[in-house]
Amino acid sequence: MNPLLWPVRSVANGLGLAWWARVQTRSPDAVYWFGPFVRRSTLEAALVPFLADLRSEAPASIEHQLLRTQRGEPLTEAADLG
Predicted local distance difference test score (pLDDT) of residue 16: 79
Predicted local distance difference test score (pLDDT) of residue 14: 79
- The whole-model pTM stands at 0.81
* Statement: residue 67 has pLDDT above 90: yes
Q: 53 or 9, which is more confident? A: 53
pLDDT category, 80, cuts 50, 70, 90? low
From the list 34, 26, 81, the residue with the least C-alpha distance to 55 is 26
